[in-house]
Structure 1
């Protein structure tokens, strides 16, 4: 664990980790910080809460400060210590490490130095495919140790055409409960069959149906509800009706079943929607109740801060070290992906070495993640070495690798290999193959091929989900095809698919690229009003902010800056830099801008300091001094 934290400390530039962590662990006293949210700074059971993450103190008088917020220890000016190029790099790094919200769908990272590539990289951190298997981890938590009739300890993961499933699928939402009553009257309740059916429906994202089934089971006197059943019901409520209703349900769970699994499940759902305040509140509640710190809980925090505040990742690692919580495979996945998203290839390799030194072999997903980051950063030879290993001698014998290879080959610009792998996929196409092929052809700017794959997918599935539409929408956004993007969005709505932050981000980018920044602004505002529980991506705001700044539209740039803050995003140097461009391009003074930055504990580097001089209303020039 020490090696992991050392890796974090060695790449402060990569994702903003603060070396204060390690001084704190050596017993350095607290430094001051400010609470800027509704949480109360308090001490509970020997640990302190300071702007979010709870860190343990092992002496009654010692406090661990908020080591990773933009507090008084975070940024310092060191005049003359860096070259101008390094100062410019700082701006880029600050942009790439800004907070990012929810998602569960794959996209690509783009390396590079211009603003567009930084935005793409930021978008990836929201929807990285490494985050996808957290739902599997939650499912395993919910199903762990379930006792079912016949002595099985785990429900069957593969379900054939069981009568129970057929019955549920054949009935409408309004009638299937009555049909279930009749079925149970004739056949009785079989736990194995019920759990297997629920898992099957979960994996089809039929959460409304599963929730109805769970509610029906809870009302039956002949079905003994257990802790896992209550936790599963809580999870479904959070997914279908939101966190508030799920939290209210916790109070209805009998105390004897209101245990660790229930709170872990609710924590995971808070993380899923990136509700930092609620996630941290539940984490503290779990500690108050005396629950032990588990790898699952730590991974949830790592995932949360990977998306929202990467500076706090080292804080979680410190906590894991103090509590002797061993990193799991998923812990390493998160850390490797975080390093890769920060374009810190050295740090990524060091995490991999630490993982292997701990006796954990990299999984297929980790290898694919590393190859993807190598490809995005132009390290072709390293990326090719990994994908050659993944592909093996004969791809026909390992078709499950195809969706991993397709986007990486596309990033490397190898269209022939994309075509070759796609031909292998065609023998037995799965959902992942379709999505990967659309993404790959989109990266290669071959929109016609991407559309052909999308059409084939449409014909293969009875009903497409948001995920299917989003992957094609991103292709249109990458290629600035506004009319096609709007048409697809309408189809998405007609198919009753949820239109969430990924779709919003794409349509905003399309409008901005088409020069319709006011329309992009209007669309984003309407989206937030229609679905206030979901938060737009940071990049959605930045597309609009950057365009307003480019136009010298100070009023609207300030409005977007304010909405960014309202959405819960922390203003840092990159955000202030974007806003400052509006004043510079409008050639108007920015009164109190330096004080605004100071209030957020953001201190200008050389580049920002030079720009601040340009908009200083009270600056002295040779002419002004002559006239004074």
Structure 2
């Protein structure tokens, strides 16, 4: 853990002073340690009763405001935070935290959605104790009659479909219920999953345990909002209000980037003295990776103090955090710590490393990792193609893309086809991408919205916007249910075509029709465009919609909003007060923008001159 905390520190000299006090018998001995990037503390810190972090030079390195006591975490926003360093991500451009992206090497996503917290974090393992078995079966799973019955039911008629299904003499087993619930969550059919859960309890079809109640909390958060989910916990029988239920709430606050509430729930779990799992600590790491990576070391110190051992996913979070900060040396130190613990680098971890090597332009290192992935040969070379193809496309290695596609071409799975489409799209070889997509449409009659959105993105990136819109119409004609990623792809497509009002209107209609919460990046795309053209009214409208969708305002959102005022050459009255109300303090860039909008204010003299 010491090595892990050391790897988590930034590489430049920060100068931390760690104060600890601990008790030997009746004698309290103060312990002081002065240091820099070498580490955050010593073994003595494991026995402390209170730990606080202060940077030695507050003018240069203001406190992150995180204090760790024996009870947990808290964030204190203070005026001196206004000097936040320029290179720390502001929580707007790279709200990634997508757990599925970290754990699934086969995920094919939109071009820049890998770096955005789009609310599609891998669904929590919240069902009954047999869920792990159900998850394993799910990878080679055929939908059951129960699953199909719910899939095909009208949006608000799940109960009627279930009554009919049971009346036909069908039986409900926990395995069948678990696999059906997993399929609904994976397909983001949260409203139907919630109706299913409510029907099961109301009709006594399932004896609920804590994981079933936690699943309900998770679904209420997705469908009705976090406030309703938190209120529901009070209605759960006391014997089932344990750590699993609270961590479901915690994970949803993390997805919403709500630091204050996430810390509140985390501390409540500790205060209630529930047995703490690594899950809760990983959630805080995911949160701070998105919002303020300086706080990651504080969580690691608390884990060490509480004797919580990191799991492989903990290392993946840290690897991703260092990679997103372009700290490749620090990322490699985390990998060394992982190996020192005897944890082998699996394909998903290697894929994560490759992702950051590619994004940093380190082609030699990226190629070495890709070669290592190919040599693992896990589940056969064809399965690895779905991982490798997009990387080689990004690296503009057409020969490698062609070689790998030839391995799959005779009998590909749909995921290999989609990976190849992504790769050819990155190589701007639209003709090859179209050829494969036509094959997909003819071979698999029932495509998901994600499959259409991948081809849509190829056309968008190649500025073939008319063809992109044709894919949108093709998807609509197929009766395909629009998901969040597809909705985002359509918004970007229309914006790229200069039809921003149409993109805005589409998003409003999709929210109303499907009851979905748009991706953060969908709002970002619209707001960026409105800001560029100085459309203050619409920029403010999108800012308000983001807040209504539980996206907590941060530096990036305010920066984009203020830029709209700058481009409109109009003063932003009360902007500083609005930022203070949201506990957001300007960095140098934002302070410069605020100065610009201040210059537009009229004075007594300017009135006379007018």
Q: Which of the five TM-score ranges fits, normalised by the shorter chain?
A: 0.7 to 0.9
Residue 513 of structure 1 pairs with residue 520 of structure 2: no
Q: Secondary structure at the match of 2:495?
A: helix
- Residues 171-570 of structure 1: pairs in structure 2 closer than 5 A: 173=153, 174=160, 177-180=163-166, 183=169, 218=201, 224-232=207-215, 234-235=217-218, 250-272=233-255, 279-308=262-291, 310=293, 312-392=295-375, 397-495=380-478, 497-524=480-507, 527=510, 534-537=517-520, 539-553=521-535, 556-557=538-539, 560=542
* CA distance 1:339–1:94, change in 2 (3 Å): same
Q: Distance in 2 between matches of 1:162 and 1:606?
A: 51
Q: Which position in structure 1 is the counterpart of 2:3?
A: 3
CA distance in structure 2 between the partners assigned to 1:345 and 1:373 by the alignment: 8
Question: Once the 2 structures are TM-superposed, how far is the Cα of residue 390 of structure 1 from its aligned partner?
Answer: 1.4
Report the counterpart of residue 114 of structure 2 in structure 1: 124
* Cα distance change on mapping 1:9 and 1:101 into 2, 3 Å: closer
The change in CA–CA distance for 1:167 and 1:145 in structure 2 (over 3 A counts) is closer
Aligned Cα root-mean-square deviation (Å): 5.0
Indicate the SS of the match to 1:515: coil
Q: What secondary structure does 1:348 align onto?
A: helix
Q: Which residue of 2 aligns with 1:66?
A: 75
- Structure 1 position 410, deviation (Å): 0.6
Structure 1 alignment gaps of length 5 or more: 30-44, 78-86, 111-119, 147-152
CA-to-aligned-CA distance 1:577-608 (integer Å, 9 cap, x gap): 55555555555666787887788654453896
**Within 2, Cα distance between the matches of 1:454 and 1:601?**
46
Shift of 1:203: 6.3
SS in 1 for 2:79: coil
Q: Deviations over 1:317-349 (max 9, x none)?
A: 343233221111111112212222333222221
The higher relative CO (CA closer than 8 Å, separation ≥ 6) is in: 1
Alignment partner, residue 76 of structure 1:
83
Report the more deviating stretch, 256-265 or 326-335: 256-265
Q: Structure 1 residues 543, 258: CA separation in 2 closer, same or farther (over 3 Å shift)?
A: closer
Per the alignment, in what secondary structure is the counterpart of residue 334 of structure 1?
helix
Kindly indicate whether the alpha-carbon contact (under 8 Å) linking 1:9 and 1:19 is maintained by their aligned counterparts in 2: no
Q: TM-score, normalised by structure 2?
A: 0.72
Distance in 1 of aligned mates of 2:346 and 2:142:
37
2:146–2:165 Cα contact (<8 Å) kept: yes
> Could you say what secondary structure the match of 1:359 adopts?
coil
Report the Cα distance in structure 2 between the residues aligned to 1:161 and 1:336, rounded to whole angstroms: 30
Aligned length: 558
- Offset of 1:572 from its aligned partner? 5.9
In 1, Cα distance between equivalents of 2:279 and 2:291: 18
Distance 1:449 1:3, change over 3 A: same
Q: Is the 8 A contact 1:237 1:245 kept in 2?
A: yes
What is the Cα deviation at residue 358 of structure 1? 2.4
In the TM superposition, residue 260 of structure 1 has moved relative to its aligned partner by: 2.6
Which digits, 9 at most, give the CA deviation of each residue in 1:191-233, with x for residues without a partner?
A: 5666566667766777777666655654666864443444445
Conserved? CA contact 1:54–1:284, under 8 Å? no
CA–CA distance in structure 1, aligned partners of residues 564 and 192 of structure 2 = 50
Matches of 1:99 and 1:430, distance apart in 2: 31
* Other structure's SS at 1:375 match: helix
Q: Flag the 1:391–1:328 CA change in 2: closer, same or farther, 3 A.
A: same
Is the contact between residue 517 and residue 549 of structure 2 (CA under 8 Å) also seen in structure 1?
no
The alpha carbon displacement at 1:439 in A equals 1.9
Post-superposition CA distance 1:3-43 (Å, at most 9, x none):
33333331589xxxx987x75779999xxxxxxxxxxxxxx
Quick one: structure 1 residues 568 and 128, their matched pair in 2 at CA, closer, same or farther if it must change by over 3 Å? closer
> Which of 142, 154, 164 is residue 127 of structure 2 equivalent to?
142
Structure 1 residue 409 displacement after superposition: 0.5
In structure 2, what is the Cα distance between the partners aligned to 1:343 and 1:169?
Answer: 45
Whether the 8 Å contact between 1:587 and 1:615 is mirrored in structure 2 is: no
In the alignment, the residues of structure 1 paired with residue 139 and residue 574 of structure 2 have an alpha-carbon distance, to the nearest angstrom, of 67
Q: Any gaps of 5 or more consecutive residues in structure 2?
A: 22-29, 33-48, 53-63, 102-106, 154-159
Shift in Å at residue 479 of structure 1?
2.7
The C-alpha deviation readout for 1:280-323, integer Å capped at 9, x for no partner, is 55434433432132111222233344445545444433432332
CA shift digits 1:218-277 (9 cap, x unpaired): 466686444344444555565666656655654454333333323333444454565656
Q: Distance in 2 between matches of 1:462 and 1:267?
A: 39
The answer to whether the 8 A contact 2:135-2:179 is kept is yes
97-106 or 517-526, which deviates more: 97-106
Q: CA offset at residue 412 of structure 1?
A: 0.7
Checking the alignment, whether the CA contact within 8 Å between 1:94 and 1:573 is kept in structure 2 is yes
1:158 to 2:137 alignment? yes
Which secondary structure state, in structure 1, belongs to the residue aligned with residue 137 of structure 2?
coil
